[in-house]
Homo-oligomer: A and B are copies of this chain.
Amino acid sequence: MGSVGDDRAEIADRIARLAHAQDSRDWDGVGASFVPDAVYVHPSGRLEGVDQIVDRTRNALQVLDASQHLIGSISVTVDGDTATSTAYFQAQHVREGTPDGDLYAIAGTYADAWVRTPDGWRIESRTQTYNWRSGNRDVVAR
């Protein structure tokens, strides 16, 4: 078993990998970041289980030409085989040819609860809140 620094590093890494999976449209990779019965509390509603989480992520992102979930300001508190983390995201959404602008940025916080599994740390629950938005909201309209 590694040090507390190792656990923090693995959790920060997982948060980044989830962002990479979202932005590369790797839906299996998105799902693999969560335990099967994970809960995702989103400003627009509560998702229960990996299938709902992956479906919502796909629906939100697949209409876009590109997205980038830049993550920073990560803090992690490890308590044995569970952990909590707080991270800031700044998510850029790109849809080319949108009238009045191709970009819409949404920024906020991911507050995650984690559990150590045989395959590494996985998210049990994520609560996403918004902090600011900028650009053309039509980019994310469906």
B-contacting residues of A (Cβ < 8 Å)?
A: 2-10, 12-13, 15-17, 19-20, 23, 66-76, 86-88, 90, 92, 94, 103, 107-108, 131-132, 134
Q: Given A16-B73, A68-B90, 19 other A-B contacts at CB below 8 A? A: A2-B3, A3-B5, A8-B9, A8-B13, A9-B9, A13-B75, A15-B73, A16-B87, A19-B73, A20-B73, A20-B75, A20-B86, A68-B88, A70-B73, A70-B90, A71-B72, A71-B88, A92-B132, A94-B132
Q: Could you tell me if B92 and A131 are in contact, using CB atoms closer than 8 angstroms?
A: yes
Number of copies of this chain in the oligomer? Answer: 3
Q: Could you tell me if A131 and B2 are in contact, using CB atoms closer than 8 angstroms?
A: no
